[in-house]
Structures are given as structure tokens and as C-alpha cells.
Structure 1
Amino acid sequence: MVKNASYASDPRQSRGRRHDEGRSDNDGSIRGPRDDFQRDRDRIIHSISFRRLRHKTQVFVAPDGDHFRVRLTHSLEVAQIGRTIARSLGLNEDLTEALCLAHDIGHPPFGHAGEDALEEALADHGGFDHNAQTIRTLTKLERPYPRWNGLNLTWEMLEGLAKHNGPIAQPTWAMAEANAGMALDLNSWPSLEAQIAAVADDIAYDNHDIDDGIRAGLLSIDQLLTLPFIAERWSDICARFPDVKRNRLVPELIRDQIGLMVNNVIETTVSRIKEHGIETADDVRSAGLMIGGFSDDMAAKERTLKKFMYANLYNHPEQMAAADNARVVVADLVGAYRDKPDLMPESWAAALPSAEPDRIRHIADFMAGMTDRYASNSHSEIFGDT
């Protein structure tokens, strides 16, 4: 086994779980000799909310083809990239993987369109945030254990999910609620494992969305070549494979782009670790800046790519039309469940609070857990869609 770096998160020094499980993680018990972070990863994989990601939108709402990515396949791709970077940096791979796998669990059906609809529905009651909903789902709504709600994840896991994009100065109601249950030091930076999970997410969707966009016919190579750093990479690929048709070279472009970004993150992070004298995991949290991530130059290129993707893919007329329809579906269902709670499954209807804001937040919890197809089918049953 390769020894982790001194600044890696160490499961033996974990701040623990909210609920005492009454045993040592290394006691060779009936559930196997796994450490705390390995158990966290496995709890995510075995959770209902993780399984539901296979029917939740990544880019395309209810995609017609089986080859497009969904939240589940995206999360697996993020985990693969995250583990590669973590291994190179001497970080804890299990914690990194667990954070990557769990990061999108709070997304409602239909991606950002569904989130917009829930945000509007809860506008007078604290709003909706998918990142906070991830923690709410994993600490409250998942209920596989007999003595407590939630998966009882480690502090390091919850901290990483809460702050993987950086410190939180103004937490939403759901994040504040989770923080009250187990203080997550929201004002500091998270572990390097969490920072790497965040940049692995960027690397995965930046490049894989290009792949899906071209496959769907909404993006073209010629459009991408308006970006100088893409054009440079494409020219190099064409020179390496002069007799290969252009469409066969798209996967090579995606691989090259991912490789460049991954290498940049590794090199930049190593440099920042040295520059800021990072020796322990606590040094990472107290550094006052992001240690794990892109160089300034690569970050600028990545922002340019995101701007391009919004202009040409995410805001494409076909995408916008699908998103508009998705927002209607979610808004209609929220209204229907508010007016007639018995339209929800019996267990959800029976637990519906009588007063706001808990009432609408309960409905949002139910809605956020829906898959795209469950939401579409429910809308058809209630409103008679044809």
C-alpha cells in the first residue's frame, strides 16, 4: 500500500460521526475490515438516492439515446478522474471517491430546470439549493439504519460535500440546519480531497458535455475550433492521425483535454503545497485560499469553455424548450401536492407538516428525490398528459 502524504485526510484521525455506532471500524466485525472513509464510500453506493441518479438529467432531459450521460454515469466519471488526481498527490482516494460519487445526489429531476422550479416554489421559505439538499438527503432523508436518520457519514465527508466549492459565508436554511446538527466549520476551506472532487467535477462535465453535445448534433467541431486552446489541441490530433475521419477523432480530443486538465491540476496543486508550506490537513483548511485546482491560465481557459458551452449547448433552443417544459412539470406537481397531499405516496402524505415552512420543504424533499421519468409519469397521471 502506498503511504498517503502528511496533508491527506486520515480516517484514523477523523472527527467522527454524529451518532456513535459503538464499534471500531477496524475490528474485523461481520461487516468487514474497512476504515471510516471506505464505509462512507460504500454507504453512498448502496444508498437509494445514489441509485436514482441513473434516471436524472445530466445535460439532456429524458435523452432519446442510451449513449448520453446521466447523473449516475457523470458521477462515476468524476470519481475516476478524482481518484487519479488523488493518487498522484498522495491524498486519501476513498474519501475523494466518496465525495465525487455523492456530489450530485441533491439534484432534483430535470437538472437545473428542476432546481429553478423548486427555487421559485420555495422563494418565500428559504429557497432550494441542490448542494445543501445533498447533505439534507444524506443526513435526514436516507433511512437505512434502525436507530437514526441519514447515513451517519463522517465529519470529513459532510464537510467536503458542504464546502467543496469553498467557504460558505451565508448558508442556506438547509445548510444551516445540517451545520447545527454537526458543526462543519463553514467559514474555512475544506480538505484537499474535497477540493480535488470539485475540480474533477469541472473536468468531467466540461469535456463530456462536449462529447454529448456533438453526439446530439447540437455542437460541431467547427464551432469548438473558435476556441484557440481547442483548435491547438485539434490540430495536433489531426497531425497524429492524418488519415482518420474527423468524427473518429472526437474521443481523442476529449481524452487529450481531460489529460491536459488533470496534469495541470496535479502540477499546480504540488506547487501551491510547496509555496504555502502545507504539511497537514489542517494547514489546507487554514490556508485561506484554494490549494487544489487549476493554474490561473488553465482556469481562464476553463471559464472561456464554460461560457462557450452555455452559449452553444446549454442555452441551445432545443435545450431551452425542454427546460421550459421541465419547469412546468415540476411547478405543476408542487402545486398539486400542496393542494392535494394525498396525491403523494401514503408515507409522504402522512408525514406532511401542517405549518410552513416545513410543509413546502417536505414537498420539495419529495420532489427532489424524483427521477425524470417518475416526475413525468406523475404529471401525466395527475394532469392527463397525452
Structure 2
Amino acid sequence: MTTPAPWASEPVRSRGRLHKEQDDTQRGPRDAFQRDRDRIVHSISFRRLRHKTQVFLAPDGDHFRVRLTHSIEVAQIGRTIARALGLNEDLTEALCLAHDIGHPPFGHAGEDALKAALSGQGGFDHNGHTLRALMEIDSPYPRWNGLNLTWETLEGLAKHNGPVKSPGWALVEANAAFPFDLGRWPSLEAQVAAIADDIAYDNHDIDDGLRAGLLSLDQLLEVPVVARGWAATLARFPDVTSERLTGELVRSQIGAMVNDVIAETRARLAAADIETADDVRGAGQLVGFSRAMRDEERALKKFMYACLYHHPHQMAAADAAHGVVAGLFAAYHADPALMPDGWAARLPESEPARSRHIADFIAGMTDRYAVNRYREVVGRVDLPEGF
């Protein structure tokens, strides 16, 4: 086993769990962060990610990514970076695997619909809902709600995008129960998970966009970082057809970004004179791209939003998805008895808890379950081709 760096999070120095547990050695000799990762993998919330949108809503194609495959790919990239920097790989993997658990069906379209439905009750935020799902809703244990994850895992998820200045209600409630120092930076492992997420979707969404026919190689070559990578790929494989090289292009871009992050982070750590894991939280953002790669990555994101995420086909699907989630919320709010018995029985009597409870139920749905429930409780729904 690689000797951890002095700035790595150590399970033996964890701030612990919200609910005290007895050491259960009969379930295997695992440390606290390994148990967190395994609890996430075995959770219902994680399993549902296999039928939740990544880019394409309820995709018909077997080869398109969904939230589950995306999360696994993020974990692979995160582990690679963590190992190179001497960080705790188990904590990094746990954060990568869990970072999207709070997404409702249909991705950002579903989130927008729930945000609008709860506009008078505090709104909806998928990052805050990740904490809510893991600390309250997904409850496989007999004596407490949630998975009872360590402080370090929950802190990293709460601050997936860095310090939080204006937390939503879900994160406020989670923070009140188990304070996360929201104004400070999270661990290096959490920072690695965040940038691994960016690297994964920047590049794998290119692959899915090409596969779907919504992007063309000619379009992509207008982006400088892609053009440079494509030229290098052609130089390495001059006798191979273009169709066989797009996968190599994506792999080489991931490799270039990962190597850039590792080199830049090492330089920042040396300049900041970091000696302990706690020093990290007061030192600002330490894991990141170099300035040159940051600018190129932003240009790639800008292109992807313009040409893929906001493609007319995608916007039509998002409109349909928004209508499904909004319609479900309206139906359940008007007649809570339409929800399954357990959810209906636990419905709070007053607002905002009542609306938030309904949103909890909808947020846990997969894409296909949401469509089926809409047809059951609302009626016919017209979905774009390929939905």
C-alpha cells in the first residue's frame, strides 16, 4: 500500500459519524472510509442511478451514459488522481460515486421543475438533496435514518463545488444536524472528486454526442483543445480511419487533463506549504487545472452547452421532462393518496414540510418510473422520438 501524503485524509482521524456505532468486525476488516464507499454502493439511491438521465433523457440506446455509468467513470478518474497525489482513494471513490445521488429524474430538466414547484417552500437543489437522501431518506439501518456516513464524506458532498455561502434549506438542515464548516474548503479528496466530475462529463459527453449524431467531428474541431488532440491522434495513427479514432481522442483528452491537474496541484501544494489535512481547509482551492488548461476546458464547456446540451432535440426532450415532473408534483399535491401507501402515510400536515415530502418522493424516481407514474395519475404524455 502506498504511504499516504501528510495532507491526505486519514480514517483513523475521522471526525466520526452522527450516530455512534459499535465496531462490527464480523462485516469485514474495513476502515471508516471503506465502509462509507461500500454503504453507498449497496444503497437504493445508488442503484437507481442506472435509470437516471446523464445527458440523454430516458435513452433508448444501450450505449449512452446514465448517472450510474457516469459516477463509475468519475470514480475511476478520481482514484487515478488521488493515487498520484498520495490521497485517500477510498474517500475519493466514495465521494465520486455519491456526488450525483441527489439528482431527480431527467437531470437538470427535472431539477428545474422541482425548483419551480417548491419556489414558495425553499426551492430544490440536487446537491443539497444528495445530503438529504444520504442522511434521511435512504434508511437501511434499524436505529437511525440515513446511511450514517462519516463527517468527511458528508462534508465533501456538501461542498462539492467548494465553500457554500448561501446554502438551501436541505443543506441548512443537514448542516444543523452535523456541522460541515460550510465556509471553508473541503478535503483534497473532495476537490479531486469535483474536478474528476468535470473531466468525465467534458469528454464522455463528446462520445455520447457523436454517437447520437447531435455533434459532428467537424464541429468539434472548432474547439482548440479538441483540434490539437485530434491532430496528435492522427499523427499517431495515420493509417486508421477517423471512425476508429474518436475513442482515442476522448481517452487522450482525459489523460491530458488528468496529468495537468496532477502537475498543477503538486505545484500549488508546494507553494502553499501544506503539512496536514486540516491545513487544506484554510488554503483555498488546491486541486485544479493550470491556467492554460482551465481556459481550454472552459472553451470546451461553452461549445458543449451551445451545440449539445442546448441542441433543439435536447431542449424538446427537456420540455417534455419538465412537464412530467411538474405534472406529477401537481397531482400528488392535490391528492396525496395517489402516492404509495408508505409515502402517503408519512405526509406532513403543514407546509413547507408537506411539499418537500412530495418532492422527496419524486426526486427519488428514475426516468422511466416517472413517465409510468405520470401516465397512471395524470394521463397521456407526448414524448419526443428516442425518449
Q: Same fold (TM over 0.5)?
A: yes
Letter of the 1:276 counterpart: A
Residue 235 of structure 1 corresponds to 231
> How far is the alpha carbon of 1:245 from its aligned partner?
1.2
Letter of the 1:327 counterpart: H
- For the residues of structure 2 that align with 1:18 and 1:100, how far apart are their CA atoms? 21
> How far is the alpha carbon of 1:279 from its aligned partner?
1.1
Letter of the 2:374 counterpart: H
SS in structure 1 of the partner of residue 61 of structure 2 = coil
Residue 367 of structure 1 corresponds to 362
Deviation string 1:32-55 (CA, Å, 9 cap, x unpaired) is 110000000000000000000000
> How far is the alpha carbon of 1:22 from its aligned partner?
2.4
Given the alignment of the two structures, is residue 93 of structure 1 paired with residue 93 of structure 2, yes or no?
no
Residue 142 of structure 1 corresponds to 138
SS in structure 2 of the partner of residue 188 of structure 1 = coil
Residue 105 of structure 1 corresponds to 101
Q: Is the 8 A contact 2:225 2:300 kept in 1?
A: no
Residue 306 of structure 1 corresponds to 301
> How far is the alpha carbon of 1:384 from its aligned partner?
2.8
Task: Give the one of 74, 79, 83 matched to 1:83.
Answer: 79
Task: Give the one of 275, 278, 296 matched to 2:274.
Answer: 278
- For the residues of structure 2 that align with 1:175 and 1:383, how far apart are their CA atoms? 31
SS in structure 1 of the partner of residue 120 of structure 2 = helix
> How far is the alpha carbon of 1:164 from its aligned partner?
2.1
> How far is the alpha carbon of 1:383 from its aligned partner?
2.5
Residue 384 of structure 2 corresponds to none
Q: How many residues align?
A: 381
Task: Give the one of 175, 180, 186 matched to 1:179.
Answer: 175
Residue 344 of structure 2 corresponds to 349
- For the residues of structure 2 that align with 1:62 and 1:50, how far apart are their CA atoms? 17
Task: Give the one of 187, 191, 206 matched to 1:191.
Answer: 187
Residue 120 of structure 1 corresponds to 116
Letter of the 1:16 counterpart: G
Residue 153 of structure 2 corresponds to 157
Unaligned runs of 5+ in 1: none
- For the residues of structure 1 that align with 2:379 and 2:243, how far apart are their CA atoms? 42
SS in structure 2 of the partner of residue 266 of structure 1 = helix
Q: Is the 8 A contact 2:8 2:188 kept in 1?
A: yes
Report runs of 4+ in structure 1 exceeding 6 Å deviation.
none
- For the residues of structure 1 that align with 2:288 and 2:220, how far apart are their CA atoms? 24
Deviation string 1:155-201 (CA, Å, 9 cap, x unpaired) is 00000000121101111111000000001000000000000000000
Unaligned runs of 5+ in 2: 382-387
Q: Is the 8 A contact 2:328 2:378 kept in 1?
A: no
> How far is the alpha carbon of 1:347 from its aligned partner?
0.1
- For the residues of structure 2 that align with 1:165 and 1:279, how far apart are their CA atoms? 23
SS in structure 2 of the partner of residue 30 of structure 1 = helix
- For the residues of structure 1 that align with 2:353 and 2:160, how far apart are their CA atoms? 27
Task: Give the one of 325, 328, 332 matched to 1:330.
Answer: 325
Given the alignment of the two structures, is residue 31 of structure 1 paired with residue 27 of structure 2, yes or no?
yes
- For the residues of structure 1 that align with 2:306 and 2:17, how far apart are their CA atoms? 43
Residue 129 of structure 1 corresponds to 125
Letter of the 1:3 counterpart: T
Query: Cα RMSD over matched residues?
Result: 0.8
SS in structure 2 of the partner of residue 379 of structure 1 = helix
Relative to the length of structure 2, the TM-score reads 0.98
> How far is the alpha carbon of 1:369 from its aligned partner?
0.2
SS in structure 1 of the partner of residue 195 of structure 2 = helix
> How far is the alpha carbon of 1:317 from its aligned partner?
0.3
- For the residues of structure 2 that align with 1:267 and 1:239, how far apart are their CA atoms? 25
Relative to the length of structure 1, the TM-score reads 0.98
Deviation string 1:276-306 (CA, Å, 9 cap, x unpaired) is 001111111011x200111121111111111
Deviation string 1:309-348 (CA, Å, 9 cap, x unpaired) is 0000000000000000000000000000000111100000
- For the residues of structure 1 that align with 2:208 and 2:243, how far apart are their CA atoms? 13
Letter of the 2:22 counterpart: G
Letter of the 2:149 counterpart: L
